[in-house]
Every structure is written in C-alpha cells, then in structure tokens.
Structure 1
C-alpha cells in the first residue's frame, strides 16, 4: 500500500461496492423508520455515515477533490435529516428528562440538544417554548413513558434496556413495539429501572448524533483547506496525524483551521 499505483487501483475497485452499500443502508433506514419502529435508526445512521466517509476518503486518495466534495454534499443531504429526525424522536417530549427521577441529568445538555432539534439559538425563546411548559406539565414518570409514541419508546429502550426489545434473540430482525412478546409494563420497567443513568445514556446518544452532523460539516472545511494549500491527501495526513513510528505519549501534530 506504500505504492501510489497500488493504492489508487485498490481504491478504485472499492468505490462501487461502497455506492451499493449506501443505497442498501439508506433503504434499510427508510424501511425501519417508515414501519414506525425506531429501534435500529441509530445503527443505520452510523453505518451509512461510515460508508459515505470511506467513499469520500477514496476520492481524496485518488486526488479527485471536487468529486469528494460532491459526495460529501450528498452525504450531508442524506444523513443530516435522518440525524435530526432521530434526535427529535429521543426528545419527542422533553418533560420526562426534567422529572425528579432524572435529577442528575444536566439541564444545559438538554438545552443544547433542544437548540439543535428546534433550530433555535436564542436560549430564552427556547426555554419559554420547550422547557418552561415541560417543567409545569411534567407527568408522573410512568405516565410520561406511556404518553410518548411507541417509536420513541423503542428508540429509548434500544439505548437503555435493549434486552426488552429482544436484542439477545435477534439483532438485525427486531419486531415493532406492539408485536413484541414483552408486556408494556415490562418495557416501562425497563426504562424506569435505568433512571437517571438511562436518561443520561439517551442524552449521550443524542449528543453523539449531533457531533456526527458537526463532523460532516468539519470535513468540508478540512477538504477545502487542503485544496487551498495545494496539498495531496497524503501530505495532509502528514500534517495532521502523528508519525506512525511515534509512541502514544508524544505530542500529535495538530493543524488549526481558522
């Protein structure tokens, strides 16, 4: 792989299977979402994003920067609304995360997630519209769990109590909420038993999805800067990555993009 010719030949052969994988996992996500399931939404988003990023890196390796940026455009167009839809699903009703059972949950984390979901940067407006009503309308935690949609419960349970969704039986072929053999009471207990740690797990998942969105935006700045400096992908890596021979305790090279 140290040979540029070998790298480019192998990279060219990989691109077509990656395109096929993009279509496959996009369809898989749509199918899972349209069924009102929500259980596999996060996994499909992560896989789909990874496939796009690998394809973009292939074009960078080939020196086809314009194509890499176009593929990044498509990746953002496909992945971004799915990320936002998934985060909205986890925070369909934020009042549950403000319940006393979740008193260790960071309010600032909830605010940042709601800013992303609502597309609102003004914290005062956000608080008045989403958080203040949630505080005064907070139901008992059991009633809150029953009030949110089955898809939202599925998504939350997939993060907090996956055994309630049959993960131990089959992972890639789970059934929708109402078709599962577990009772609603069992699944309610699955959420309750993990409060507040389960709530923090949901918040961490939402934050990681938002970070994924931001990273895609960051890749665009990175590629544009690489092009502006007239660097090859390998030269860029030499700038931003530590030498392969370096030990972990040595300082990594860092390039700040202003």
Structure 2
C-alpha cells in the first residue's frame, strides 16, 4: 500500500523557513503549525548517542549543509525524539542511569541519616527483561501472555513511583525529578507493550492518562524551582547565561498565553524586592534548590550561603528546561499513535519507515516523516 508520507533525511526548505519565521514550531518530537496545531512532520533520531548526558543540542547543528540549520533542542532529555526509537533496551539504559544518580544522591543524604529505597528499580528492570523476552517468542499466545505479565509489573511501577514522586515533591526534595523521570519511563514501557501487540487504542489511552499524571507533578516541581521570587534568575551576574527569553519559555509551558513583556511585568516588583532585601529570598528558598541539612554539611556556620546558592541557579534552570522537554516528548508520542491509526498502518510498519531511495548522509542525525497534508490530530501537546 502506498502511504501518504514522505520519509527523508533532508530538511525540506519550507520546514526550515517555517521554523525560522515562526509559523512552525517544534514541540517534542513533532513539528506543527503554530496557528492550527496541525502536525506537518515527525522527527526520528538516527544513530544518535542514547546517553542522557549526550548533548542533544548536537541535533541542532547543521544536519544538512544545503538545507540550513534546524534548531531542534539545546536541552538534554531522558526521552528520544519519537516513540519508535525508544524501545525496551533504551528504557533499560535510561533506568540504570537514573538508578546510578540516586545512588550518588544517597551519599549526600547519608549525612542526615535518610535512606533512598532503590530496591524497586530491580523489579522495574525485571519487568523490562520480561517484556524483551515476550516479544522474541514465536508463539502468539505465549507472547501475549508474557507481555501482559510485564504490563502488570509496569502498572505496579507506575503506582510506586507516583507515590515516591508525590512524597519528594511534598518534601521539596532535590531528587523529585529522578522519580518523575522514572515514572515517565514506566508509562512509556507499558504503552510500548501495547504498541508491540498492535493495541493502538489502549496505548494511546495510557499515554493520555500518563500525561495527566506526569504533567501535573512536573508543574508542581517547576513552581518549586522558580522559587518565591523568580526574578532571581535575571540577576546581572547571569548575563550571557540566562536571559528573559529562557525564563519566558518556562512560563509559557505553564501558561502558553504569556509573552516576554508579560513575564517581565510579572517580575518588575520582584526585581525591586530582591535588590532591596536579598536575604529574604534566601530564607524562603526551596529545599529543592538548597537544603541546609544536606548542602551545608562541612561548612562553617559563619559562611555566607548566597554565593553557593546563586551558583546553582543556572543549573536549576537547565533542570526545568529538561523536565519540560521530557514532558513534551512524552506527550508528542501520542501523535505517533494517532497517526498510525489514522493512516491505517501497523506499529511495526511505522517502525520500518525509511527513505526508499536516499542514502543516509554522513552526520545526519534526524529522519523526517512528512504527511502529504498536515494531519489534524487530537491536541495533546
């Protein structure tokens, strides 16, 4: 069957132009029309480094010198661009990285006799192994039975890590983001099982339900990181690192109707109050940024904490950007599932999409899946 899709390694001129003039925007793993929200392109990574420490800003370098530069993202995300390239092996790798980060955090928390329970990560890894084995079985009935067992374990992980995330957010913890990311992986692993079983409707429903759970908690966490006085991110010492545009993008995720002028007006009085009494902000700072019980270990009681706290703010802003990018990528996975159903193809055929005549150019990091006409899909991002 001939599909109404163009699959290419080349960035079309009209897409590059739309991204440049602002008529198109990238949201997660899709490019869409700003005004109509119709999807015009899906992005699929090709041979990129899967490490969460990989600077995915490399995707924004000159992918095709003759086509110009597509600024995809300067933000590190735990999720790939496209559900089709984040299988169980990639999820397992991400999970191990999160577990290692929590183990590193445990070393600091030992100073206050607080323990992190990482035992559930072993159960999550076992569920992923079960899913991998399920989809290598030849008998359909065995495959489905094992897949459903894995799904039950992923459901259990979702409940566990939702509870962990809620606890850490309530405590304004510095490890809340690790549990939120783990929760994202649990929902993704479950939905991926349904996709492998070609249960598109169920996969879409689980993505939608997971988006509600994850989005609301990331929103709470970002409000913590913005602190009682977000104008602190606009201090003169951050010139060249943080500008109003970056802060505005954070606010626009919380409320898409805001622009730079509105955000600046919101911070006018905050800037004045910060200059008038900077110590007041220090006293109210969230433990998600600075926890005196943990971060003050080994410091003299007369030391001034402000320089160390301020030094953390650029990294804190990066954490917010990363969480937002991860959430957008998770939500954009829904459009792939919707497209598969609307186009009437299987998930496995979607996975096999590749340019029929093109040879992959050296250095090409992305493949573009372009529908013959923009697709009107249920808004989710």
User: Which residue in the other structure is 2:82 paired with?
Assistant: none
Query: How many residues align structurally?
Result: 231
Structure with higher RCO (Cα < 8 A, 6+ apart): 2
Q: 2:204 aligns with which of 57, 66, 69?
A: 69
Task: Sort the Cα spacing of 1:114 and 1:8 in 2 relative to 1 into closer, same or farther, 3 A.
Answer: same
Query: Does residue 221 of the first structure (1) align with residue 356 of the second (2)?
Result: no
Deviates more, 1:108-117 or 1:56-65: 108-117
User: Which residue in the other structure is 1:21 paired with?
Assistant: 157
Q: SS state of the match for residue 369, structure 2? A: coil
**Maintained 8 Å contact 1:32/1:38:** yes
**Maintained 8 Å contact 1:96/1:139:** no
Q: SS state of the match for residue 227, structure 1? A: helix
Deviation sequence 1:7-40 (CA, Å, 0-9, x none): 5454322101100000001111112223x33222
Q: 1:233 aligns with which of 347, 351, 369?
A: 347
| Cα distance in 1 between the residues matched to 2:370 and 2:139 | 28
**Higher-helix-fraction structure:** 1
**Maintained 8 Å contact 1:56/1:72:** yes
| Cα distance in 2 between the residues matched to 1:211 and 1:254 | 19
User: Which residue in the other structure is 2:295 paired with?
Assistant: 164
- Gaps in structure 2 of 5+ consecutive residues: 1-135, 375-381
Query: Does residue 115 of the first structure (1) align with residue 248 of the second (2)?
Result: no
| Cα distance in 2 between the residues matched to 1:99 and 1:49 | 33
| Cα distance in 2 between the residues matched to 1:119 and 1:51 | 28
Task: Sort the Cα spacing of 1:219 and 1:17 in 2 relative to 1 into closer, same or farther, 3 A.
Answer: same
| Cα distance in 2 between the residues matched to 1:19 and 1:182 | 47
User: Which residue in the other structure is 2:288 paired with?
Assistant: 155
Deviation sequence 1:169-226 (CA, Å, 0-9, x none): xxxxxxxxxxx9996957545324x2xxx32211111111111221132111111001
**Maintained 8 Å contact 2:164/2:179:** yes
**Maintained 8 Å contact 2:251/2:263:** yes
- Gaps in structure 1 of 5+ consecutive residues: 167-179
Deviation sequence 1:156-177 (CA, Å, 0-9, x none): 248xx9x7278xxxxxxxxxxx
Q: SS state of the match for residue 254, structure 1? A: strand
| Cα distance in 1 between the residues matched to 2:190 and 2:342 | 21
Aligned alpha-carbon RMSD (Å): 3.4
| Cα distance in 1 between the residues matched to 2:148 and 2:218 | 29
**Higher-strand-fraction structure:** 2
Deviation sequence 1:46-99 (CA, Å, 0-9, x none): 000111011111111111111111111210111011111111111122121111
Q: 2:309 aligns with which of 168, 186, 191?
A: 191
User: Which residue in the other structure is 2:239 paired with?
Assistant: 103
Deviates more, 1:6-15 or 1:200-209: 6-15
TM-score norm. by structure 2 comes to 0.53
**Maintained 8 Å contact 1:164/1:186:** no
Q: SS state of the match for residue 352, structure 2? A: helix
Q: SS state of the match for residue 42, structure 1? A: helix
Q: SS state of the match for residue 274, structure 2? A: coil
